[in-house]
């Protein structure tokens, strides 16, 4: 299902060239700002520091001149800016280290900033796919795996459906033009699943000769 990938990629996002007959339909990576907001709760952190600074200003503005009250509040705003900058930087590193690939046979997820991991998800091991579409066209496509496929939430994070710990669902997080990508994925999966699987068996005469 997955393996560590330290070798040079012959095709970006894939540990090896696709087999003959398999075609790459789409490749992309998360939008950095959207990933910071949804996976790292950037908006909540901004709101927290704004409220904290507002409370600090209100509590001291009656006790000291306006300039000093602003000066007493400023360190909280600076600290908040530093924290938000760090979160954005983490999201940037995660986004640049990620490459999602949709082919005619599978979904491949090259993930991990420190430890690179490639997760291959054949369409026949997938159940439903859920699209969480956000303003601006970005969105997350969560994948419901079937059979004995077991994936670790901690290993996949942030490329997993949030708050689904019982059965981890890998996800294409915060991708641009998510609705169109979901359409490409649906068409490819339907075509692959409806394609009959032909297996080679030994001729009857050869079996009898044994």
Residue 208 pLDDT = 47
Three-state SS letters, 130-176: EEEECHHHCEEEEEEECCCCCCCHHHHCCCECCCCCCCCCEEEEEEC
Closest CA relative to residue 48, chosen from 20, 15, 83, 72? 83
Q: What is the pLDDT of residue 207?
A: 42
Q: What is the pTM of this model?
A: 0.82
- Is there a cis peptide before residue 37, judged by omega within 30 degrees of 0? no
pLDDT at 26: 96
Distance, CA of 50 to CA of 112 (rounded, Å): 32
Q: Is 69 helix (H, G, I), strand (E, B) or coil?
A: helix
Domain annotation for the chain: domains and CATH numbers? 2-6+24-30+99-194 (2.30.29), 35-94 (no CATH)
Low-confidence ranges of the chain (pLDDT < 70): 1-8, 147, 193-210
Side-chain-side CA neighbours of residue 38 (13 Å): 26
Amino acid 63: pLDDT: 83
Predicted pLDDT of residue 198: 46
Tell me the C-alpha to C-alpha distance, in Å, between residue 117 and each of 55, 113, 190. 44, 9, 27
Q: Do 91 and 33 meet the contact criterion of CB atoms below 8 Å apart? A: yes
Residue 207 has a CB neighbour count (10 Å cut-off) of: 9
């Amino acid at each position: 299902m997955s393996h560590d990938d330290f070798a040079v990629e012959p095709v970006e996002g894939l540990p090896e060239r696709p087999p003959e007959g398999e075609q790459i339909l789409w490749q992309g990576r998360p939008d950095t700002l959207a990933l910071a907001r949804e996976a790292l709760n950037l908006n909540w952190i901004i709101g927290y520091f704004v409220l904290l600074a507002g409370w600090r200003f209100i509590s001291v503005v009656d006790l000291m001149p306006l300039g000093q009250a602003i000066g007493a509040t400023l360190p909280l705003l600076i600290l908040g800016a530093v924290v938000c900058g760090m979160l954005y930087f983490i999201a940037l590193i995660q986004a640049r280290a990620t490459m999602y690939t949709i082919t005619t046979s599978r979904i491949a997820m090259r993930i991990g900033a420190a430890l690179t991991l490639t997760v291959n998800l054949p369409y026949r091991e997938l159940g439903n796919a859920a699209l969480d579409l956000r303003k601006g066209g970005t969105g997350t496509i969560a994948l419901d795996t079937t059979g004995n496929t077991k994936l670790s939430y901690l290993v996949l994070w942030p490329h997993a459906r949030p708050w689904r710990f019982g059965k981890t669902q890998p996800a294409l997080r915060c991708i641009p033009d998510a609705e169109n990508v979901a359409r490409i994925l649906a068409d490819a999966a339907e075509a692959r699943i409806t394609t009959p699987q032909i297996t080679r068996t030994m001729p009857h005469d050869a079996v009898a000769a044994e």
